[in-house]
Structure 1
Amino acid sequence: MTTNSPDISVVVPLFNEEESLPELTAWIARVARDHALTCEVIFVDDGSTDGSWSVIEQLRQEYPFVRAIGFARNYGKSAALYCGFEAAQGEVVVTMDADLQDSPDEIPELRRMILEEGYDLVSGWKKKRYDPIGKRWPSKFFNWTARVASGIRLHDFNCGLKAYRRKTVKAIEVYGEMHRFIPILARQAGFRRIGEKVVEHRARKYGHSKFGLERMVKGYLDLITVLFMSHFGRSPMYFFGGLGTLMFLVGGGTTVWIIAGKLWKQMHGLPLRPVADQPLFYLAMLTVVLGVQLFLAGFLGELINRGSSDRNKYLIDKKL
């Protein structure tokens, strides 16, 4: 980190939020001024189709600390955060949504918790929410599931308002739709000092929510993915190879037992049942075949994992 690095970097992913950007920028500037903080605001325009980029260009002229990244198309929030993290230079990095539902007034305290209390990551908890009940209750259930599955005691995994130590955002790899599980990714990367702060949740002032049922479905699929990746992402052979080997041994052992039983009965002149007439024989053979396939899947996964690089490539159309 250079000596000219700002005290805070505020990363703001956005999609079609042109109405809220001027108010949000002025609010962040006021907070930074009142607390004598140097800052940079990094807007990441995730392929907006409204006038968001034009508004950002105007804000850039008024506020020198504004920086911006514009995608050529919509890649999703994870891609926006990934590129924002790459560009951030502040000693503390804060993320917030662009819809004014997150309050910039929380920034100084979040920064203090990082620097003085030693947290690597502090996640906001919107204890009192103004969302409709159709969004609140699925969110509560989702967070409960993530809390139980991951062992991280947070109430709101998907809160957009978070603060990070700079080295944390440089180490984690946010891809796909994994922005919901950044605390899990951070712990996986070795950052275990994860805290929580109750933050203000404000009713949406402009635009409309992007929340939909499909996000809940994707959320649970992503939870399974991130938990699998946290345990076996670097060595898929441990999972697929281990399970495949077990199935192969069970199926092969059962097949040998069936055939040996038939031979023993033949030697002693006992009534016997043809092997081909026994359903268990076919189940055993199926288990053997599936075991071999799982083992090969683990082997191919290892080859792909070792040979892959530059996973995150996003077409950035413009920068400020």
Structure 2
Amino acid sequence: MDISVVIPLYNEVESLPELTSWISRVMAENSFLYEIILIDDGSTDGSWQMINKLRLDNTFIKGIKFRRNYGKSAALNVGFDAAQGNVIITMDADLQDSPDEIPELYRRIVEEGYDLISGWKAKRYDPLSKTLPTKVFNWATRKMSGIDNLHDFNCGLKSYRKNVVKNIEVYGEMHRYIPVIAKWAGFTKIGEQVVEHRARKYGVTKFGMSRFINGLLDLMSIFFVGKFGKRPMHFFGSLGALSFCAGTICALWLVGDKLYDLANHIPVSREITAKPLFYFALVAIIIGSQMFLTGFVAELVARAAPERNKYQIEDSI
């Protein structure tokens, strides 16, 4: 099979007939063997009934229905597991992504050898309240991930080589950072393609302002897990050592200063415990010790994890 189109959806009953018809037309024009996987993320507007109706006329359509709303990341992860195509295309169900982009996204994976192509909606039809925070997050993600060639990490229109989606896990709200997840898994040939962003035709957006706070937290999580997931002591131990050493140096300086005053019969104006530096040293030592203990516990958890020795193997002979 050439292409699997994975589409997560939540209350998009109005757009589904037009979207699936458009995708089928593009596939027929390019003689692609394909499947359309629609993941209903707990819709309440009759989307699942529409999927069943559309499948009667188009056997290339497959459907998966969640019992409740789990989120876009969960829908994508399940869709990736079900996909059988050599190239997987993801897109949103609201008709803001154009299926006409599919042939070029497919070509760049197959002919140019990319692992992942991420869409870039250079011209957007979203309000400033959405586009401005998105630019900030994209900038922060580029700096933290080292993927400098992507302008829009959160674009739903992407194409993947099959072995990419079969070797990554998308959970929580990590769908925003799939290129980062892929990079940490060893798939480093990541490209970008300018794609059309269409104005929303039906319904309303399903994402509120909370997604920006969640996005920042998810970025920090994925950065930590990707870099220190198998060696947490390197992170906690380093911070603990710095804190403990800083506190110890301050404490020794206070003691040395006290002994110097006593040896030279200099009147002591204040006791050591009356100086603010004493409490700074005490807190730093305590925090340093706790960081060490946290690192040890994290190491025990990591070593007990069933995937502690699971690594990405590209080839073998």
TM-score by length of 2: 0.91
Q: Could you say which residue in structure 1 is the equivalent of 2:219?
A: 223
Q: Output the CA distance in 2 between the equivalents of 1:234 and 1:177.
A: 22
**Residue deviations 1:136-181 (CA, integer Å, cap 9, x gap):** 2222232223223322121111100000000111112211111111
Q: Runs of 4 or more off by more than 6 Å in structure 1?
A: none
Give the drift of 1:268: 4.0
Q: Could you say which residue in structure 1 is the equivalent of 2:252?
A: 256
Give the drift of 1:31: 1.1
**Segment of structure 1 superposing worse, 288-297 or 109-118:** 288-297
Unaligned runs of 5+ in 1: 1-5, 311-320
Give the drift of 1:264: 4.0
Q: Could you say which residue in structure 2 is the equivalent of 1:174?
A: 170
Give the drift of 1:309: 5.2
Q: Could you say which residue in structure 2 is the equivalent of 1:104?
A: 99
2:302 partner letter: N
Q: Could you say which residue in structure 1 is the equivalent of 2:289?
A: 292
SS of structure 1 residue aligned to 2:166: helix
SS of structure 2 residue aligned to 1:171: coil
1:9 partner letter: S
Q: Output the CA distance in 1 between the equivalents of 2:265 and 2:299.
A: 51
Give 1:50's match in structure 2, choosing from 45, 51, 55: 45
Q: Please show how residues 134-283 of structure 1 align to structure 2 within 5 Å.
A: 134-152=129-147, 153-272=149-268, 273-283=270-280
Q: Output the CA distance in 2 between the equivalents of 1:276 and 1:144.
A: 46
**Residue deviations 1:214-262 (CA, integer Å, cap 9, x gap):** 1122222222222222222222211111101221122123213322332
Q: Output the CA distance in 2 between the equivalents of 1:309 and 1:186.
A: 21
Unaligned runs of 5+ in 2: 308-317
TM-score by length of 1: 0.90
Q: Could you say which residue in structure 2 is the equivalent of 1:128?
A: 123
Give 1:77's match in structure 2, choosing from 66, 72, 76: 72
2:186 partner letter: G
**Segment of structure 1 superposing worse, 268-277 or 238-247:** 268-277
Q: 1:100 to 1:138 in 2, by over 3 A?
A: same
**Residue deviations 1:3-24 (CA, integer Å, cap 9, x gap):** xxx1001110111111111211
Q: Could you say which residue in structure 2 is the equivalent of 1:302?
A: 299
In the alignment of these two chains, the number of paired residues is 305
Q: 1:174 to 1:92 in 2, by over 3 A?
A: same
Give the drift of 1:199: 0.8
Q: Output the CA distance in 1 between the equivalents of 2:299 and 2:69.
A: 31
Q: Output the CA distance in 1 between the equivalents of 2:181 and 2:290.
A: 30
SS of structure 2 residue aligned to 1:43: strand
Give 2:110's match in structure 1, choosing from 115, 129, 137: 115
Using the aligned pairs only, state the percent identity. 58
SS of structure 2 residue aligned to 1:10: strand
**Residue deviations 1:27-70 (CA, integer Å, cap 9, x gap):** 11111111111111111111112211111112222221222221
**Segment of structure 1 superposing worse, 238-247 or 269-278:** 269-278
